[in-house]
C-alpha cells in the first residue's frame, strides 16, 4: 500500500481583519476559505480553524501561516486525519481514516506513512510494522481476513526476505519469500504432520527437497518441478501451497 495524504494546504497568508500580534482575527481568503483564530504579525499563528469552500475543515495549531503542531482535518470527500503537522504537511504521529474506512495509526513524514504504524483495512487485514515512503519496509506482522498470519520481511510493500506464514488451514511455512511468494529455501509443514524441506519457486515446491510422510515415516528425496515430484510420491506430498 502506498499512501500519500494531502489536504491541499498552502501558505495561509490572508487579508486579516485584525493584524496585531497575538490577536484573535478573521480572514476570508481569495479562494473563499475562512480562517478564525489567533494571528501574529499579519499571519495565522496559534490555535485556529480554517474552513474551505467545499466544506473541508481544519481545527488546530498554526505557525507563521502554516498548519503546524496538533490538529484535526476533515476533508469534504470523507477522509480525515488527526495528529501532528509540520510546515503544512502531515508529519509525526497521527491517525488517518480513509473515506471507505481504512485506518492507519502511526508515524508520518511529509504526508506519507513513514515509521512505525498499524494499518487496518476495510476488508479486515491488519498490518503492523515499519513503513518507508508509504510502503511496508522491514519486519512486519500481517493478519488477513481469511485467518492467514505472516510475520516476515517486506521490501517496498512486497514480501521479500525471511519469515513465517501460519495459514488458516493449519499449515505453516518457514523460509524465504520473493515478491509475495514462498521462494528459494524453506520448510512447509502440513497440519497432519507431513513436512517438505527444500527449494521453492513462486509458491510451489521446485528444486531439490525432502518430503517427510508423518504416518509412515517415509522420507522422499529428490527433485520437484512446478509443485510435482519428478517421480510422483504417494499421498499429499505433491500438494504444493501457493500463497
Contact at 8 Å (CB) between 211 and 195? yes
Higher pLDDT, 153 or 11: 153
Q: What is the largest CA-CA distance in the chain?
A: 87
Rounded Cα distance between 4 and 131, Å, is: 12
CA distances from 97 to 5, 54, 105, 186 (A): 10, 19, 9, 37
Rounded Cα distance between 96 and 165, Å, is: 28
Could you give all domains of the chain from N- to C-terminal order, each with its CATH number? 1-137 (2.20.110)
Whether the predicted pLDDT of 16 surpasses 50: no
Strands 219-225 and 204-212: antiparallel
Rounded Cα distance between 53 and 90, Å, is: 21
Per-chain mean pLDDT for the chain: 89
Whether the predicted pLDDT of 17 surpasses 60: no
Q: Predicted confidence band at 232 (pLDDT cuts at 50, 70, 90)?
A: low
Q: For the chain, first and last CA: distance in Å?
A: 18
Rounded Cα distance between 78 and 201, Å, is: 42
The grid coordinates of residue 176 equal 524465504
Q: φ, ψ for residue 13 (rounded to 5)?
A: -70, 130
Residue 135: strand pairing partners: 132
Q: Which residue, among 76, 55, 11, 63, has the nearest Cα to 37 in the 3D structure?
A: 63
Contact at 8 Å (CB) between 143 and 160? no
The grid coordinates of residue 6 equal 494531502
Q: Report if pTM > 0.85.
A: no
Q: Predicted confidence band at 23 (pLDDT cuts at 50, 70, 90)?
A: confident
Amino acid at each position: 500500500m502506498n499512501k500519500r495524504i494531502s489536504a491541499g494546504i498552502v501558505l495561509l497568508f490572508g487579508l486579516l481583519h485584525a493584524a496585531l500580534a497575538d490577536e484573535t482575527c478573521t480572514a476570508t481568503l481569495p479562494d473563499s476559505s475562512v480562517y478564525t483564530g489567533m494571528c501574529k504579525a499579519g499571519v495565522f499563528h496559534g490555535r485556529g480553524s480554517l474552513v474551505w469552500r467545499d466544506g473541508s475543515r481544519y481545527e488546530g495549531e498554526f505557525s507563521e501561516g502554516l498548519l503546524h503542531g496538533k490538529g484535526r482535518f476533515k476533508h469534504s470527500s470523507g477522509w480525515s486525519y488527526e495528529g501532528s503537522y509540520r510546515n503544512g504537511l502531515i508529519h509525526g504521529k497521527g491517525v488517518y481514516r480513509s473515506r471507505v474506512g481504512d485506518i492507519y495509526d502511526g508515524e508520518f513524514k511529509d504526508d506519507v506513512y513513514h515509521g512505525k504504524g498499524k494499518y487496518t483495512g476495510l476488508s479486515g487485514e491488519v498490518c503492523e510494522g515499519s513503513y518507508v515512503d508509504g510502503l511496508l519496509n522491514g519486519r512486519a506482522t500481517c493478519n488477513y481476513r481469511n485467518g492467514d498470519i505472516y510475520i516476515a520481511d517486506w521490501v517496498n510493500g512486497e514480501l521479500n526476505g525471511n519469515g513465517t506464514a501460519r495459514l488458516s488451514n493449519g499449515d505453516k511455512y518457514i523460509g524465504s519469500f520473493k515478491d509475495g511468494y514462498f521462494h528459494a529455501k524453506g520448510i512447509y509443514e502440513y497440519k497432519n504432520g507431513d513436512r517438505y524441506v527444500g527449494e521453492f519457486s513462486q509458491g510451489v515446491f521446485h528444486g531439490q527437497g525432502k518430503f517427510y510422510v508423518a504416518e509412515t515415516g517415509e522420507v522422499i528425496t529428490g527433485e520437484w518441478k512446478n509443485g510435482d515430484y519428478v517421480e510422483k510420491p504417494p499421498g499429499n506430498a505433491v500438494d504444493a501451497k501457493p500463497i
